[in-house]
């Protein structure tokens, strides 16, 4: 099956999931997760209509971004874990950073963004299940963290992101998606940020339809577009 065929199927899946819960399918952005995917396949994905590529690894992005070059409407997001010393090379190169895990990281981003004269859009990664091996804010700490991060003038908190615990059964992760949405709603209601606490980045190849039913505004889909990674 071609990438274009797969994208078609995913778009249909997004549409159906949104309509099941009375949402407008246009409120869900498909972010193609591009780790390990070659530039030529990314060009194919672009030609199939994909416009946002999400990279995990800076080094890969630094090879792919120039290989593909600037194209109409094309944007790159950073979705992977960030090492402190890489932050200076990430800020400004990606329209949105999905994976900010600490106040310290946000502070470092703010410093770089100030130097280059931009405001960097970020999402705060939430460790909804409190897993030890994962980064991210625990739900109880996020309000304090937002109070601090919102004082950094060169970052804009646009929403929340999560990577729920792995499960073979997508229904098992529904409660985590639902929890992230409730957290977003309660933060947005209290207007704690100036960046607009709107986005919910959640759902991947196996469970994007469930994430959308639970309110995802961005789904990060890799293998369902590009095939299994080695």
Ligand X SMILES: *Cc1c(COP(=O)(O)O)cnc(C)c1O
Which residues fall within 8 angstroms of residue 140, CB to CB, at 6 or more apart?
none
How near is the Cβ of 98 to ligand X at its closest, in Å? 7
Task: Spell out the long-range contacts of 183-186 with Cβ–Cβ below 8 A and sequence spacing 24 or more.
Answer: 183/126, 183/139, 183/142, 184/159, 184/160, 184/215
Nearer to ligand X by C-beta: 119 or 223?
223
How near is the Cβ of 114 to ligand X at its closest, in Å? 27
3-class DSSP assignment, residue 67 = helix
Nearer to ligand X by C-beta: 56 or 217?
56
What is the distance between the alpha carbons of residues 135 and 200, in angstroms, rounded to a whole number?
A: 17
C-beta separation of 74 from 53 below 8 A: yes
How near is the Cβ of 203 to ligand X at its closest, in Å? 8
Which bin fits 96, alpha (ψ -120 to 50), beta or left (φ > 0)?
beta
How near is the Cβ of 30 to ligand X at its closest, in Å? 11
Q: Which residue is nearest to ligand X (CB)?
A: 222
What is the distance between the alpha carbons of residues 53 and 32, in angstroms, rounded to a whole number?
A: 5
Nearer to ligand X by C-beta: 95 or 153?
95
Nearer to ligand X by C-beta: 123 or 183?
123
What is the distance between the alpha carbons of residues 50 and 110, in angstroms, rounded to a whole number?
A: 29
Which residues fall within 8 angstroms of residue 4, CB to CB, at 6 or more apart?
44, 47, 48
How near is the Cβ of 99 to ligand X at its closest, in Å? 7
Site of interaction with ligand X (CB under 6 A) = 33, 35, 56, 79-80, 163, 204-205, 220-224
Nearer to ligand X by C-beta: 163 or 216?
163
C-beta separation of 149 from 105 below 8 A: no
Nearer to ligand X by C-beta: 195 or 222?
222
How near is the Cβ of 106 to ligand X at its closest, in Å? 18
């Amino acid at each position: 099956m071609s990438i274009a065929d797969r994208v078609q199927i995913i778009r249909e899946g997004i549409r159906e999931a949104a309509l099941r819960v009375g949402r407008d399918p246009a409120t869900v952005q498909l972010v193609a997760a591009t780790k390990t995917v070659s530039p030529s396949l990314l060009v194919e994905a672009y030609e199939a209509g994909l416009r946002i590529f999400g990279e995990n690894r800076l080094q890969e992005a630094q090879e792919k971004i120039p290989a593909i070059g600037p194209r109409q409407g094309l944007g790159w997001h950073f979705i992977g874990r960030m090492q402190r010393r890489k932050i200076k090379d990430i800020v400004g190169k990606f329209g949105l950073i999905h994976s900010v895990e600490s106040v310290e990281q946000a502070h470092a981003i703010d410093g770089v963004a100030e130097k280059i004269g931009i405001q960097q859009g970020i999402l705060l990664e939430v460790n909804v299940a409190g897993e030890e091996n994962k980064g991210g804010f625990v739900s109880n700490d996020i309000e304090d963290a937002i109070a601090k991060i919102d004082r950094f003038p060169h970052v804009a908190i646009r929403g929340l992101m999560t990577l729920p615990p792995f499960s073979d059964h997508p229904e098992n992760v529904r409660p985590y998606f639902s929890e992230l949405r409730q957290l977003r709603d309660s933060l947005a209601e209290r207007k704690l940020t100036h960046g607009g606490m709107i986005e919910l980045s959640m759902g991947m190849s196996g469970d994007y339809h469930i994430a959308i039913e639970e309110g995802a505004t961005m789904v990060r889909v890799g293998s369902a577009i590009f095939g299994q990674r080695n």
